[in-house]
Amino acid sequence: MRKLSLIASTALGIVVGAVLFNAPSALADWPVIDVTSIAKEIGIENVLQTISSTMNTVRDSINSLLGANGPIASILGPTAYGTVNDLLREGFTQNANYSKAQISAQEQIADGSNTVMSQFQRQLRDREIVDEQTPTASACSSLDGGVGASAASIQAYDVAATISAITDQRGQAGPNTPAYYGQGQAAQAIADNHYKFYCDANEAAAGLCTVQQTPDADQEQLSLYGSGVYTSQQAINAAKDYMINLTQPIVPAALRGDQLASVAGQDAAARRRSYNARMSLAHGVLADQIGMQTPSVPLTQAEQQYLQERNLPAETSGSWLQVMQIEAERRWGDVTWNANLEAMPPASVVREIAQELALTNFLLFQQFKQQLYTNSLSAAHLAEVTNKNFVPTVRMPAPSLAGN
């Protein structure tokens, strides 16, 4: 029987191999095997039935081993929660679900992290934009100070022009001025003004006047250059009177009527005009200094705080000179400004530097204007000295025009 099975298996293998592997056709000189005769000889149908029966037996054996009551199932444990196949399928399914859940969680974490980081970067950029676009309190104070200084310069010019007009009219002995009526009247007028506002103890003892609150203020330089700002109208008048005593206390009498008609009067008038021009320049320079110290604009909060920190009089109004002085000095020795500078973002520091440069240009231009006054004074002084030193070499006779 075993031999028959072996022969059948061999024949079956030959047939299957020929079909599967596409065996080449037999050549004429090859040995010829009659498969049909062999199959009939060995009884192929019986062989196939035997093979089929054997395979079914093997399948039943495997099923019995893997079944719910088989030995393998008994080794794996009870089947109360399902068969081994069910449990394995559920287990693999659960593992797959865990993997998908883990991947989904990682995706959510990545999305959340990206969202938070993008929001953080956007907020950071928004803050940078705010720092670049929003001016600091120091920048606002500097702008207020610059606007105040510009306005004060205009007011100072107006005050200086008013004082110059008054002193020029006085120095030229114009109508309704003391010198218009004579030099004696001019001298008496300056004396009366001194006794009325600046009488000192010696003059009071001589019975000329009564001691005033500011004795001799019309002859003290502190009346002109004091704290940088005049505190009252009386202080402004004292500065003006000091300027007059410094330059032209007594005005020469006016040339009028017949005095101007003669040849000598014409010569005197020419010299008087030169005298008036020089006096006007001197008065204009000093009047400009008075105008710079006249209170004309309200001080900002930062400027008032600066004065308090320096134990200076707390003023609400300041002069052009005082405003420029505060704006220049508070950036050098002011603790508040330096603390604000330390906390400034880069954009604000750049703006502060630009404002510093603008203030420097403003001060340089004012210095240039003062240098113009200085040059004018030097030119006037040179002309006066040259005029006095000019002496003709010989005395020339008057030319005769009769023969021409």
Least confident of 57-61, 80-84, 124-128: 80-84
Residue indicated by tokens 């019995």: 64
Contact 177, 185 (CB under 8 A): no
Convert 94-115 into a string of H (helix), E (strand) and C (coil).
HHHHHHHHHHHHHHHHHHHHHH
Alpha-carbon gap, residue 105 to 111, rounded angstroms: 10
How much is the average pLDDT of 216-226?
A: 91
At residue 7, the pLDDT reads 47
Alpha carbon distance 148, 150 (integer Å): 5
> What is the average pLDDT score of the chain?
80
**φ, ψ dihedrals at 298, nearest 5°:** -70, 140
Q: Which of 243, 247, 254 is nearest to 172 (CA)?
A: 254
CA atoms within 13 A on the CB side of 12: 17
pLDDT band at 226 (very low <50, low <70, confident <90, very high): confident
- Stretch among 129-138, 171-180, 361-370 having the lowest mean pLDDT: 129-138
pLDDT of residue 15: 47
CA-CA-CA-CA dihedral for 316, 322, 323, 329, to nearest 10: -120
Q: What single string gives the DSSP state of each residue in 120-160?
A: HHHHHHHHHHHHHHSPPHHHHHHHHHHHHHHHHHHHHHHHH
The rounded distance, in Å, linking the Cα atoms of 16 and 13 is 5
The dihedral built from the CA positions of residue 262, 263, 266 and 267, taken in this order, carries a sign that is: negative
pLDDT for the residue numbered 4: 41
- Checking if the pLDDT of 27 tops 60, the result is no
Tens-place pLDDT, residues 91-150:
888 888 888 888 988 989 998 899 989 888 888 888 777 767 767 767 777 777 777 778
- pLDDT at 200 (0 to 100): 93
Residue 211: which pLDDT band, with cuts at 50, 70 and 90? very high
pLDDT digits (tens, 9 = 90+) for 325-360: 888 887 777 777 777 777 788 888 888 888 888 888
What b-and-e string marks burial along 69-103, b requiring 16 or more CB atoms within 10 Å of the CB?
ebeebeeeeeeeeeebeeeeeeeeeeeeeeeeeee
Query: Over 60: is that where the pLDDT of 272 sits?
Result: yes
